[in-house]
Amino acid sequence: MHKQELTRRNLLAGTAALGAGAMMPGMQRLAVANEPRGKAEHCIMLWLGGGMGQIDTFDPRPKGDPKKKKPGGYYDMIPTAVKNVSVSEHLHRCADRMDRITAVRTVHHDVIDEHAAAVNRMHTGRPTSGTIVYPSIGSIVAHELGVTGNVPAYVLAGYPNLTRGPGFLGARHSYLYLTDTESGPTGLTPAKTITADRQQRRQRMLADLRADYLRRNPGQAPVADYDATLDKALRLAGPEFMDVFNLKSEPASLIESYGSELGKRCLLARRLCQSGVRFVEVAHNLNFVNGTGWDVHNQGILKQHVLINELDMAVSTLMDDLEAHNMLDKTLIVISGDFGRPASFDGGGGRGHHCKAFTVVLAGGGLKHTGAYGQTNDLAEEIVTDPVSVPDLFATIFASLGIDPGHELHDGDRPVPITDMGKPIKSLLA
């Protein structure tokens, strides 16, 4: 009898647990919906492909020795505008602005050595799935905030692939891809031999063909998506949007202060946001500088400081430029990559990948900045306090943009939470 009671009791307990588990998403949505939200209107994400080493940038430690295989930092540490917060010596401009920056030092995921999987995780906030193609953070922001005027909601000056795409949200929430900083997107502007009258005749003929095709193919989502994308492209080809790419209209001193190609892309990002674009991803890899970009294995670390200096120059100028246009509180800057780096050195004196604790930087966006959030151990490799999962990071970014992190998207009739159970960092939100 006792054994039967115990079995029955276990069955009831298990059933209750299953019921609670089924209720969890709804409960989480209710809890997150009541969290504070910010008022930023735009997001500029600087993507450091390969993975920025937190120990050599925004979570520094005393220097190690690659030759003696002694773990530690590669550069000296310097103080910042925030007491007890240090950064690398090559981030001296950002150091002066850390009162408007938060280095989130305890981001983590479970992808060890697969760049593609880690890039997907840091763009979609979820593991790769065989049953559903999740939208990227840029596409979600585009979907939730929408467009303002004749501009795209999402612009990519980086690497076009599925990870950065709209997933189940559809083509209308995809990115406008830039191949060149100053000439703008390829294919939008007509050839110089095409007069305005000729262009208008072409567009009228195309409109008739499109309308006829839609009549003959009603209710087909891919056809409707393509038609919407084509319509957007035609609107973007106008002179108003294309003028955004005229960087030479900016003062020469400002262009010079931005520095490298990364700086020019950041200047363009400011102009894009100023025109109404919601999300801009700017890539900074530049493999030609040190042979490896931010993926500083072996000898690639020898010129890592060049990348850090370029980042420092571009970000500090972007912050000042946004502030001069009264846009810093309205624009969230995110500095992210696929991994961090360990404190130990590999056989060639460089660093491998590290996923257990790494830094993602948030700046501007009207947040309550503290210089740093979360604490790691003596080698900046293990989380000591305040862990931040990738879904938590996404929830924080969404909340700063006024997007409800507990909101649901829909893949057809299937509800999909906007984050994978993420909760925003409360202390950063106004």
Q: Considering only CA atoms, which of 21, 39, 19 is closest in space to residue 367?
A: 39
Strand partners, 337: 48
- What CA–CA distance (Å, rounded) separates 272 from 360? 23
3-state secondary structure the chain: CHHHHHHHHHHHHHHHHHHHHHHHHHHHHHHHHCCCCCCCCEEEEEEECCCCCHHHCCCCCCECECCCCECCECCCEEECCCCCCEEEHHHHHHHCCHHHEEEEEEEECCCCCCHHHHHHHHHHCCCCCCCCCCCCHHHHHHHHHCCCCCCCCEEEECCCCHHHCCHHHCHHHCCEECCCCCCCCCCCCCCCCCCHHHHHHHHHHHHHHHHHHHHHCCCCHHHHHHHHHHHHHHHHCCHHHHHHHCHHHCCHHHHHHHCCHHHHHHHHHHHHHHHCCCEEEEECCCHHHHCCCCCCCHHHHHHHHHHHHHHHHHHHHHHHHHHHCCCHHHEEEEEEECCECCCCCCCCCCCCCECCCEEEEEEECCCCCCEEECEECCCCCCEEECCEEHHHHHHHHHHHCCCCCCCEEEECCEEEECCCCCCCCHHHCC
Please indicate whether residue 88 or residue 238 has the higher confidence score (pLDDT). Answer: 88
Alpha-carbon distances of 305 from 88, 91, 293, 299, 308, rounded to whole Å: 10, 9, 11, 13, 5
Residue range 264-287: mean pLDDT, rounded: 93
Q: What is the pLDDT of residue 1?
A: 42
Contacts of 192 (CB under 8 A, 6+ apart): none
The number of angstroms, rounded, from the C-alpha of 162 to the middle of its chain's C-alpha atoms is 15
Q: Phi/psi at 65 (nearest 5 deg)?
A: -145, 105
pTM: 0.85
Please indicate whether residue 234 or residue 349 has the higher confidence score (pLDDT). Answer: 349
**Percentage with pLDDT > 70 across the chain:** 83
Q: What does CATH list as the number for 36-187+239-428?
A: 3.40.720.10
pLDDT per residue as tens digits for the range 113-168: 899 999 999 999 999 887 899 999 999 999 999 988 788 999 999 888 889 999 99
Residue for token pair 């009264």: 326
- What CA–CA distance (Å, rounded) separates 40 from 49? 25
- What CA–CA distance (Å, rounded) separates 204 from 281? 34
- What CA–CA distance (Å, rounded) separates 150 from 275? 9
Q: What is the pLDDT of residue 232?
A: 62
State whether the Cα torsion 197-202-207-212 is positive or negative.
Answer: positive
Q: What is the pLDDT of residue 153?
A: 95
User: How far from each other are the two terminal CA atoms of the chain, in whole angstroms?
Assistant: 59
Q: What is the pLDDT of residue 23?
A: 40
- What CA–CA distance (Å, rounded) separates 108 from 125? 11
Q: What is the pLDDT of residue 34?
A: 66
Most confident of 15-19, 158-162, 284-288, 316-320: 316-320
Instruction: Tell me how crowded residue 279 is: count the other CB atoms within 10 A of its CB.
Output: 29
Residue for token pair 């209107």: 41
Contact 343, 72 (CB under 8 A): yes
Residue range 309-324: mean pLDDT, rounded: 98
Q: Considering only CA atoms, which of 118, 150, 346 is closest in space to residue 231?
A: 150
Q: What residues does each domain of the chain span? A: 36-187+239-428, 190-236
Residue range 161-183: mean pLDDT, rounded: 89
pLDDT per residue as tens digits for the range 126-141: 998 878 999 999 999 9
- The per-residue pLDDT of the chain, averaged, comes to 87
Joined tokens for residue 373: 């959030």
- What CA–CA distance (Å, rounded) separates 179 from 184? 7
Q: Please list, residue by residue across 345-377, b when 16 or more beta carbons sit within 10 angstroms of its beta carbon and e when fewer do.
A: beeebbbbbbbbbbbbbbbbbbbebbbbbbebe
